[in-house]
């Protein structure tokens, strides 16, 4: 009698152990699904607001828009702005521009991001950076970038158009930098200014400057189908919990 009771207890414990393992497996499935629903959509979303650099990076190293001061060999100041449309909504953390220099030594330039106004011109300045220096001379590189990093406080909205603007650090300096145009066939509106005050359309169908804008996309709300799937798994998990608590005599 004692031996039979021991065997029955062993079977009971075995069933309880199996149910425990099943419960743990269901819990693991629930956690995994939660990660898929809430984490994967965020990480899968591209953190690229805009890019015409290509992969790997490649722009037209031979030519581009001249960003210069009045003291350069051109004899006049020039600045350019390229229009782009943001692909996502979120916060910008980095901007890369394909700029080379055409002087004996590299000289700095400035950059900024502006909204577009109703007349396809510059609206409001959102952020700016000064004394950015290219590292490659014109014609020697098609992938050298000037990087603006650790950007904060700059947010863009998906579907909205903005300008990236490059200007000489001083309208009278000796700089002669080239904002190399992209090699990805991305054409668009390019504005020109000789005084950093009055901007006119220079081109609407030529390649825009080479650049990208990177950052962190805003977290999207989980899709309804994902939430429904999560709800099904939660119900199944709750069913296992209830089943585990029922006495063995009530289960077949």
**CB of 188 within 8 A of CB of 82?**
yes
For residue 29, what pLDDT is reported? 52
Give residue 53's pLDDT: 98
Q: What is the mean pLDDT of the chain?
A: 83
Q: Do the domain assignments include residue 195?
A: yes
Distance CA(101)–CA(134), nearest Å, equals 6
Determine the distance from the C-alpha atom of residue 195 to the mean position of all C-alpha atoms in its chain, rounded to a whole number: 32
Question: Which domain range does residue 159 map to?
Answer: 45-217
Predicted pLDDT of residue 41:
47
pLDDT value, residue 7: 44
Instruction: Classify residue 100: in a domain, yes or no.
Output: yes
Please give the average per-residue pLDDT across 196-212, as a whole number. Answer: 95
* Phi, psi dihedral angles at 194 (to 5 degrees): -105, -5
132-159 residue pLDDT tens: 999 999 999 999 999 999 999 999 999 9
Tell me how many domains the chain contains: 1
- Distance between alpha carbon 190 and the CA centroid of its chain, in Å? 23
Q: Give the residue-averaged pLDDT of 103-126.
A: 97
Label residue 5 by pLDDT band (50, 70, 90). very low
Flag whether 210 is in a domain. yes
Q: First and final CA of the chain: distance in angstroms?
A: 24
The pTM score is: 0.73
- Look-up of token digits 């890019």: 51
In a domain? residue 138: yes
Average pLDDT, integer, range 54-63:
97
| Range of lowest pLDDT (30-44, 76-90, 208-222) | 30-44
pLDDT of 223 above 70? no
Residue range 226-238: average pLDDT? 56
Q: Which helix (H) or strand (E) holds 76?
A: none
From 155-164, 189-198, 228-237, the region with the lowest mean pLDDT? 228-237
CB atoms within 10 A of CB 8: 10
Over residues 204-213, mean pLDDT: 96
Domain for residue 212, yes or no? yes
Instruction: Give the per-residue pLDDT at 219.
Output: 79
d(CA 226, CA 36): 9
The 8-class DSSP code of residue 209 comes to B
Which residue bears the tokens 């030594």? 105
Domain-located, residue 35: no
Q: What are phi and psi of 29, to 5 degrees?
A: -65, -40
- Residue 27 scores a pLDDT above 60: no
Tell me which of 235 and 145 has the higher pLDDT.
145
User: Is 244 inside a domain boundary?
Assistant: no
Rounded CA-CA distance 4/130 in Å is: 86
Domain harbouring 184, CATH code = 2.60.120
Cis check for the bond before 56: say yes or no (omega within 30 of 0): yes
Residue 42 confidence (pLDDT) = 46
Lowest mean pLDDT among 36-40, 111-115, 182-186, 224-228: 36-40
Answer whether residue 106 shows pLDDT above 50. yes
6 falls within a domain: no
**pLDDT over 70 percentage in the chain:** 69
């Amino acid at each position: 009698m004692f031996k039979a009771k021991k065997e029955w207890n062993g079977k009971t414990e075995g069933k309880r152990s199996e149910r425990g393992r099943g419960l743990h497996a269901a819990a693991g499935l629930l956690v995994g699904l939660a990660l898929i629903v809430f984490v994967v959509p965020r990480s899968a979303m591209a953190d690229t607001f805009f890019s015409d650099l290509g992969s790997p990076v490649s722009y037209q190293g031979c030519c581009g828009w001249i960003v210069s001061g009045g003291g350069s060999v051109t004899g006049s100041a020039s600045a350019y702005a390229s229009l782009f449309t943001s692909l996502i909504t979120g916060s910008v953390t980095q901007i890369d521009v394909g700029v080379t220099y055409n002087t004996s030594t590299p000289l700095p330039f400035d950059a900024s991001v502006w909204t577009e106004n109703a007349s396809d011109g510059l609206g409001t300045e959102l952020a700016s950076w000064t004394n950015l220096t290219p590292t490659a001379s014109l014609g020697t590189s098609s992938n050298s970038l000037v990087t603006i990093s650790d950007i904060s406080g700059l947010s863009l909205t998906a579907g909205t158009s903005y300008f990236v603007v490059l200007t000489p650090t001083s309208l009278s300096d000796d700089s002669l930098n080239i904002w190399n145009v992209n090699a990805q066939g991305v054409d668009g509106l390019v504005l020109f200014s000789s005084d950093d005050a009055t901007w006119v359309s220079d081109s609407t169908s030529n390649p825009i400057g080479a650049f990208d804008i990177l950052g962190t996309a805003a977290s999207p709300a989980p899709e309804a189908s994902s939430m429904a799937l999560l709800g099904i798994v939660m119900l199944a998990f709750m069913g296992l919990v209830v089943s585990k608590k029922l006495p063995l005599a009530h289960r077949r």
